[in-house]
Amino acid sequence: MKVTAKANANIALTKYWGKKDAALKTPWNSSTSVTLEGLETTTTVEFDKQYKKDVFVLDGKEYAEDTDEYKEVKEQLDIIRGKAKSKLFAKVVSKNDFPTAAGFASSASGLAALTFAASKAAGLEFSVEELSKISRMGSGSASRSLIEGFAIWHKGSRADGDDSFAEQIAPISHWLDFRILGCVTSKKAKKVKSRAGMAQSVKTSPIFETWYTTAEKDAQQMVKLIKEKNFEALGQLAQKNCILMHACAMTTTPPIIYWTDGTMQVIHRVFELQDEGMKAYFTIDGGPQVKVICLEKDVPKLKEELSKLDLVQEIIDCKPGKGPRVVKEHLF
């Protein structure tokens, strides 16, 4: 059966950086996020006897079996095949409508779309909680892209990882004027992938324990702020949490520095706008792109100011978005 699904990226409001169990892909701390309309992956999956091996094509490029990208997809397909008791190989064709592997959570939307489409194509029906757990095995942040609106990914405490999944904090309708402006400062793939960077930070950063214990408290506080729609406190907490995560990455051996001149240019302008009374805050995942958290009424002014920066290539205006869904138009 052939199924095509769309899934949106999500931006972590409080971050995840470091796996506690590498095999189960469980994190050291819980994290919170907003799923975003405007950053979307479309994926078609077909299981069929005609395929003698798994085939993976992303943004028009077919990946060889020895690449990390192919192995990630195959591992996810193996999980689905195991649950479906199937030995059929699959063809997977995927495309992103935003920069891939550049700090816009393309792995989150990609693995969420893959898990959703592959499970349907294999004839399986899972709850959102179960899909979140399966997506987690491909990409931790993908567990959050299974959720509409605002989500928390629970770190869990069970040895088998069964209580580590994402669930909804609030739907889109809860906060209709919430916005994220994605400032594209580079469209190149980042040199250090998040997975490799996290593993090094766990081993070598002297502030790693401070990071994850603080981040767990931040996640629980963020749930409260989202429910209360306390925008100013939310923005300040997200910004602080982001800086601490990157401090953890930067104090890793060797240092992991995702920020570029463009990143710093946006950060400094946001600080200036805050000094002028603007309620806008920045957050940055594992990459150079800055996401500016704001309310709808401030979007025109912010876009005007940020577009003046010479190192900002594009600004993507995002609203809270949906969870994954099946679509009729296939990619092959």
pLDDT of residue 195: 83
The CATH code of the domain that includes 32 is: 3.30.230.10
pTM (global) more than 0.85: yes
Local structure of 33: helix, strand or coil: strand
pLDDT of residue 187: 80
Local structure of 136: helix, strand or coil: helix
**How far is 27 from 236, CA to CA, in rounded Å?**
23
How many domains is the chain partitioned into structurally?
A: 1
pLDDT digits (tens, 9 = 90+) for 228-275: 999 999 999 999 999 999 999 999 999 999 999 999 999 999 999 999
- Residue 13: band (very low, low, confident or very high) from pLDDT cuts 50, 70, 90: very high
DSSP secondary structure code for residue 5 in this structure: E
Q: Which H or E run includes 41?
A: strand 31-47
Nearest to 1 by CA among 88, 85, 83, 70: 88
**How far is 3 from 319, CA to CA, in rounded Å?**
26
What residue numbers bound the domain in which 113 lies?
Answer: 1-332
Q: Which residues does residue 178 pair with via DSSP β-bridges, in sequence order?
A: 295
Asked if residue 6 has pLDDT above 70, the reply is yes
Asked if residue 104 has pLDDT above 90, the reply is no
pLDDT of residue 249: 97
Tokens of 31: 């994290």
pLDDT of residue 101: 59
3-state SS string for 247-313: HHHHCCCCCCCCCCHHHHHHHHHHHHHHHCCCCCEEECCCCCCEEEEEEHHHHHHHHHHHCCCCCCC
292 contacts 263 by C-beta, under 8 angstroms: no
